[in-house]
Structure 1
């Protein structure tokens, strides 16, 4: 049961890769909608001018 608890152990690359994957997913889930919104604004301004 100890491997299921949330402990920050120094050894074991699996823990680091899981943490970086979740961080990457959080970064993408925030940046992708912002990028789409920015592209829509840029496209609308290009049509307006």
Structure 2
């Protein structure tokens, strides 16, 4: 067996870190999917906004 362990370059294309983004982009990445999901639940339930 090879003693070499496979390591990805942290700056490479296979590495993505939310902490490398600005605070607004991080908030958007978290908030937008949650808002979309909430909207679908409200729409599917027929509840008034």
TM-score of the aligned structures, taking structure 1 as reference length: 0.51
Question: Which sections of structure 1, spanning at least 5 residues, go unmatched?
Answer: 1-20
Which runs of structure 2 are paired with 1:6-21 in the superposition (5 Å)? none
Partner of 1:24: 24
Question: Which sections of structure 2, spanning at least 5 residues, go unmatched?
Answer: 1-20
Provide the C-alpha distance between the structure 1 equivalents of 2:26 and 2:33, rounded to a whole number of angstroms: 12
Structure 1 segments of 4 or more deviating over 3 A? Answer: none
Provide the C-alpha distance between the structure 1 equivalents of 2:24 and 2:39, rounded to a whole number of angstroms: 21
Provide the C-alpha distance between the structure 2 equivalents of 1:24 and 1:44, rounded to a whole number of angstroms: 29
Report the aligned-residue RMSD.
1.8
Provide the C-alpha distance between the structure 2 equivalents of 1:36 and 1:24, rounded to a whole number of angstroms: 17
